[in-house]
Every structure is written in structure tokens, then in C-alpha cells.
Structure 1
């Protein structure tokens, strides 16, 4: 896999800019003839990510085209889901139910913004920008606690209640427009599908290769598989850095393996690419869910008279490794703390 296959200069970056620029902004389907070149380019970049030797099969583009088209069509459907950006600001913590639920305190918001080196770099590069758009990713955690609760006007002790917490906040891909952020989200989704396929190829090699018990080869495979799984499981992983780590491990594997045994797996690799990209609904889902929460993030039954707020969440699932709550956000420059303020906060804990 080329290290540049996931950045903005070529490969995935170039091909997916064409796809997701249309996908996430206009939502309009393209005519088949207009899509033909894009399908071919995406097919090549998927193959380069999963198993470049598949190019040895002269008909690989024709064989994979229906699967790639299926993924494009499905991601276009996801792109039509309305996800309006929310303001990531302290003033929103009180009135906005999502921001209130996502953060325990209003002060947590500038702390998150201040930790994002990408956001700082954006504002430093775009000196006149007053805000940036970004993708916020989080994990949703639920646990049962026993606490007092009012039931039918009577205070009852030790009532089982479900609390909801949002953790692991990450700001991804700050940009000047929402369309640019949506494009980057689409690139990351396609990359995760390719990495998911590569993980399956490696698992198939591990089970079927005649020399799978060779300790050195097995160790290299395990290292490469771990890199791939780490990438699939982290939507915030820098794609370029991840690609380079995978590339280094893959070169070690290529040097250790018998080329004949590797070539024998090409049909299996093609079949796995067909399976993943031909059935995207099995591997990627973006669902809208509704949560009824009190101000203390305790779950409340729908229709309850207890004061609560209703959250509309977007939950992203990619394979079995990644499930995250995502939201598009607007980040005001005025909320970004100065670096000296961050250092002062850190010193309080030293």
C-alpha cells in the first residue's frame, strides 16, 4: 500500500475528493457514465490498500466494479442524512441539550478546543477565520447506578438508574466549510472499509498459508494485523501516519513471504474485497437514535413527567471495532484558549 494513498494529494485523497465533494454537499446522484472513471479510480486505490498484486488479474476492475458502485450508492444515502452543525461554545452548554449532555461542564469545551493541535494549526493558517467547522467524535458509555428517585411523588432510595456518559472526545478535520469536513468524513469511511478488508485478508492468510506456523512470519502478520485493527477502531487516527506504519509492516511481510504463496491468495483477496464493498450495509451504518436524559444525564422513559431533554444522536458503526457518536460542530476562534492558559491549567495538577 502506498503511503500517499490516504492523503489529499493522490490515491484516496484525489478520488474521494471527487466522490465526497458531490456526495456530502449536493446529495445528487451522478449518471453512470459520469461515475465510470471514478469507479475505476476508487477500485485501483482500494486494491492498492488491500492487496496491490490483485492487479495481476487483468479483469479485476470489471470484477470489482459492481461492489464499488454499491458502496458509492450506499455512502450517498448516508450523506443525505441531515446533520446540522452545533456551536461548540460555552454559551451553548446551557440551552443546547446535546452540548449539555456531551460535556460535564461548560469549561470542558474550551479545554477540548485547546487540546486540538489541528484546530490551532487551522486558525494559525487562516488568520481571518472567526470559526472552523469540524467533526466531533465520542464514545457513549452507559452504566447502572443505585440512587434516590422521585416515583409518584415519593422519594425512593436505591432505585436502579441508567447514566449516560460521553468520553474520548476528539475533534477531527477542522476546515473552513461544512462541505470540506463532510468530504473528509467520507474519505475516512472508505479508508476504514479498505482497512477492514485488509484485516480479513490477513486473517485468511494466517489460516490458510502453509507456512503460517513459522514464528517470524507469524509475528510480522500479527504486527500488521494489529496496525490495521487499530486504524479501523480509531476514527481519529491520522490516516497518513497510520498508512506509513502499515506500509512498514507490510514491506517486512512481503520480504518474508514466498511470492508464490502470496500470489495463490489473489482470488481470495478479490473475493473479500467483493464481499465487503458489495455489502456495505453489513460494515458501515450511520443511525439516528433518540435519548431522553435528565440534566444529570440519567435516562428517562419517553413521556415521563420528569424534567428531561431529548437528544437526537448520530451513531457511526464501522465493522466490529468502531462505534462512535459523531456530530458536526462549529468552533469559534474566541473559544480557543491561549497556549499560556493551557500551561497554567496543567501546572495546577503538577
Structure 2
């Protein structure tokens, strides 16, 4: 991890010690034996460099920083949407391992930048609405809400926080390389189990059953041979290429505009109290979405003051 921190903090083009460290970390994460399998480190320079550039560009596109405080809670629809209650942010900060480590490393820090990631959800409900001077009941509404508030990648400056976000994105891409190989290993184990079961059935098979079982066994053995060949260390660089040269297939950002009122209800753009809120979603290969943004908090030495300020804002709004 320290090697990767050094790379993101001191990037220089070419075969610098930092770029070599990034390659070393990536290969160590996937399969340490690749260092002795031939082609190391030259074979990995192009895919690793491409993934690093992509991670930096993606981190730069994360919106923010949002200033978290009483004023922004009142005036910024995105802050109000993400943190439905004053305690949400402070609870997320207190639960974050990354933030705990940050405060331990920087006990005198007066401010912090960090990435907030949340799950954006929507649900239908029936509620009350005014139609002119008429109060209508059981009006169908769609409400946007957020769960799994996570605060990660803190830094003393915006630049440091974005470096940490880029590092995390790069680590995620390398994780996808490892997952491709692990999936093949699991496939090999499944085929070995299938082979053993077929051999067991052949031992007790009747003459009529043997023909079909032997044919199935030959097919299984052929697939097993292909699986074994795919796990040759010489094939692993292909996995680096597949993920790191096309990282947009595995990790990308997408913006969604939604018009919301102060209660999180989806409204038409022309409706009274409607505000357009732009959400930025980080999407992985599994299609799961995390709504992400960079935040800025001051007075973090006394995090209780944040709670007090947000509570005052909530009372001011009458929530």
C-alpha cells in the first residue's frame, strides 16, 4: 500500500521508481509468481499505465467538494437530499475506519476532504398533497432516499483526497483482474469434481450406461484441459489487458438529474418547490451503483459542532 501511495503522490512519466512500484503492487496483488514467469515488468507497463491514467481521470470527475454545514444544509438541495437528518453525516464519519485512521494520523486537523458514497433508492407511497386549496389524500408519490452512507478516502486537501480516490479506483480495477483468474480457478475445481463424480459412476455403471457416461467424461476432460491451460501463468497478462486496457467496462461514472422537493419527492421541473439535483453514480461491472461526491468539512476537531450546526438547520427548516 505504501508503494501505491508513493506512486499516486509522486507520479512522473516514464520508468520512474514510482511507476515500477505501481506495477510491482499490481502483480503482487494478482499473483506474486508472475515476477518470475517472464516478461516482468515490461509486459505490464502499458495496461497498468492506462489504468492509472483512467483512475486519475475518473477521480477528477467526482463532483464536489460540497461544503457540509448549516448554511449548505439549508441552501444546497444535494446536501439536503444526501443527508436527510443532521445525524446522518456524523454517524457515517464515526463509523468510517478511514476517518478514524485519518484522525489518528492528524489529531490536530481542522478540516478534511473526503468522498461520500451512498446507495440511492426510490420507493412508491401514498401521501397528502395540496391541490390549490384542496387537500388530497392517497396521492401516489415516488420518494428518493439514501442508505449505506460511507465516508472514505479522507485527505487534508482536495488534491490529496482525489489522489486517494484514484488509488482506490485503481485498486478496484486490479481486483477485477484477480477476480477473472479466481473465476477460472473455481471453474477448474468444479470440472475436477464433475470428473471425479463421473469416474465414480463409471465404476458401478451397467454396460448400457457406460457409453453415455464415457462420452460425457471425455467432454468434461476436454473442458478441464482447457481450464488448466487457461491457468498457465503465461496467460495471466491477458487478464491485465482485458481489464486495464478497457477499464470503462468495469468502472465508470454516470450522471442522473432528478427534480426533488425538500421531502425527497420526485416532482415535475415546473412544480413549486422543485429543485433539479444532479447525482453522480459510480458503477461497477456488477451494475451496482454508488452515488458519490466529494465533501469538505471544517471544525472537524470538534465534530459535535457539525451536529449542532446541522440540527439548527433542521429546526430552522421545521423538519
| TM-score category (smaller protein) | 0.7 to 0.9
Report what 1:35 is aligned to: 14
Structure 1 position 71, deviation (Å)? 1.9
| Matching of residues 115-154 of structure 1 within 5 Å | 115-116=95-96, 118-119=98-99, 122-123=102-103, 125-150=105-130
* Within-5 A mapping of 1:264-303: 264-301=231-268, 303=269
**Contact map agreement 1:90 1:110 (CA 8 A) in 2:** no
What SS does the corresponding residue of 2:256 show, helix, strand or coil? strand
Q: Could you tell me how far apart the structure 1 residues matched to 2:281 and 2:172 are?
A: 16
Q: Deviations over 1:52-83 (max 9, x none)?
A: 22233322444333322332332343244262
What secondary structure sits across from 2:281 in the alignment?
Answer: strand
Q: Normalization by structure 2: what TM-score?
A: 0.73
Question: How much has 1:309 moved relative to structure 2?
Answer: 1.9
Q: Give the structure-1-normalised TM-score.
A: 0.67
Shift of 1:271: 1.5
CA contact (8 A) 1:111 1:337 kept: no
Instruction: Describe the superposition over 1:96-154 as per-residue Cα deviations: whole angstroms up to 9, x where unpaired.
Output: 21121112222433343344465455446545432222111111111222334456886
Please say if 1:17 is aligned against 2:9: yes
Q: In structure 1, the residue corresponding to 2:252 is in which secondary structure?
A: strand
**Counterparts in 2 of 1:151 and 1:59: CA distance versus 1, 3 Å:** farther
Q: Residue by residue, what CA displacement relative to the aligned partner does 1:265-300 show, whole Å, maximum 9, x if unpaired? A: 223322222101110110111223222111110112
The 1:97/1:36 distance shift into structure 2, 3 A limit, reads same
CA deviations over 1:225-277 (Å, ceiling 9, x no partner): xxxxxxxxxxxxxxxxxxxxxxxxxxxxxxxxxxxx69952233222221011
* Alignment match of 2:289 (pick from 313, 323, 329): 323
Shift of 1:209: 5.3
8 A Cα contact 1:110 1:335, kept in partner? no
Residue from 59, 62, 66 that aligns with 2:46: 66
Structure 1 contact 113–335 (Cα < 8 Å) conserved: no
Alignment of 1:81 with 2:61, yes or no, is yes
Partner Cα distance (1:289, 1:13) in 2 = 32
What is the CA RMSD across the aligned residues, in angstroms? 3.1
Matches within 5 A, 1:1-350: 7=1, 9-10=2-3, 12-19=4-11, 34-37=13-16, 39-81=19-61, 83-116=63-96, 118-119=98-99, 122-123=102-103, 125-150=105-130, 156-208=136-188, 212-213=192-193, 264-301=231-268, 303-320=269-286, 322-331=288-297, 332-333=299-300, 336-337=303-304
Deviates more, 1:122-131 or 1:45-54: 122-131
SS of aligned partner of 1:105: coil
Rounded to whole Å, the distance in 2 between the matches of 1:78 and 1:157 is 45
Report the count of equivalent residues: 271
Unmatched 5+ stretches in structure 2: 195-227, 309-319
Unaligned segments of structure 1, at least 5 residues: 1-6, 20-29, 215-260, 342-350
Once residues 120 and 55 of structure 1 are traced to their aligned partners in structure 2, the CA distance between those partners, rounded to angstroms, is: 35
Q: Which residue of 2 aligns with 1:239?
A: none
Q: Which structure has the bigger radius of gyration?
A: 2
